[in-house]
């Protein structure tokens, strides 16, 4: 109940404060490329229940049917100029706050993954789905962009096993440093599941 209350208050406040930035980003996307500004993608959430995760569109419309499909490679030509900036700064994830308000995500937790990824989980890795997915998490602040997929899952499992409000606070405090540093939180190296639409 405490986590849910924090999620609602913080995400509503963050959306309100970021609204001008969000509107500018939406306008920039619409003016520079065809297609909707908001991109919906099916992800697996708590206990594997699927939901539509909301993001700002950073690639050409219909990118999932072109080139590498759902995987995103370094220097992917499908990424728009505006999208490149949004991805680098993780601003494309701002609509995730709506997912938090709707109760599909939380502020801190393992990043929501594609159903195709979940289908490849081992029995141990399914433990990652025992908590709601988050906007930021333990794996994101511990080298997400440079770690192989298996190590990121292990970091997420560590979080699940040691989850506490104090750990959540530590993650939340470290997240802005990474974002403001320009490295972003979610965009990894090329290949495999390193990056997703």
How many Cα atoms are found within 13 Å in the side-chain-facing hemisphere of 97? 20
Residue 151 sits at φ, ψ, to 5 deg, of -70, -35
Find out whether 105 and 12 touch, Cβ atoms under 8 Å: no
- CA distances, 93 to each of 99, 111, 158, 164 (Å): 10, 11, 24, 24
> Does the pLDDT value for residue 158 go beyond 70?
yes
Q: What is the pLDDT of residue 14?
A: 95
Q: Across residues 191-196, what is the average pLDDT?
A: 41
Q: Return the higher-pLDDT residue of 147 and 20.
A: 20
> Does the pLDDT value for residue 182 go beyond 60?
no
Q: What is the pLDDT of residue 156?
A: 96
> Does the pLDDT value for residue 159 go beyond 50?
yes
> Does the pLDDT value for residue 143 go beyond 60?
yes
pTM of the predicted structure, to 2 decimals: 0.87
Q: What is the pLDDT of residue 71?
A: 76
Average pLDDT across the chain, whole number: 89
Q: CA–CA separation, 107 vs 180, rounded Å?
A: 18
Q: Return the higher-pLDDT residue of 177 and 96.
A: 96
């Amino acid at each position: 109940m405490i986590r849910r209350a924090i999620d609602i208050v913080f995400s509503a406040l963050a959306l309100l404060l970021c609204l001008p930035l969000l509107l500018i980003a939406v306008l920039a996307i619409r003016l520079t490329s065809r297609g909707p500004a908001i991109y919906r993608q099916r992800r697996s959430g708590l206990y594997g229940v699927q939901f539509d995760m909301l993001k700002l569109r950073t690639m050409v419309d219909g990118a999932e049917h072109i080139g590498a499909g759902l995987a995103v490679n370094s220097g992917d030509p499908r990424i728009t100029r505006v999208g490149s900036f949004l991805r680098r700064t993780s601003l494309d994830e701002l609509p995730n706050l709506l997912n938090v308000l709707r109760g599909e995500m939380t502020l801190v937790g393992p990043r929501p993954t594609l159903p195709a990824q979940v289908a490849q989980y081992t029995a141990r890795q399914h433990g990652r789905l025992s908590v709601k997915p988050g906007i930021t998490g333990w794996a994101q602040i511990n080298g997400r962009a440079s770690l192989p997929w298996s190590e990121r899952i292990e970091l997420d499992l560590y979080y699940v096993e040691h989850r506490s409000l104090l750990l959540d606070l530590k993650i939340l405090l470290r997240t802005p440093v990474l974002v403001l540093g320009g490295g972003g939180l979610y965009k990894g190296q090329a290949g495999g599941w390193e990056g997703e639409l």
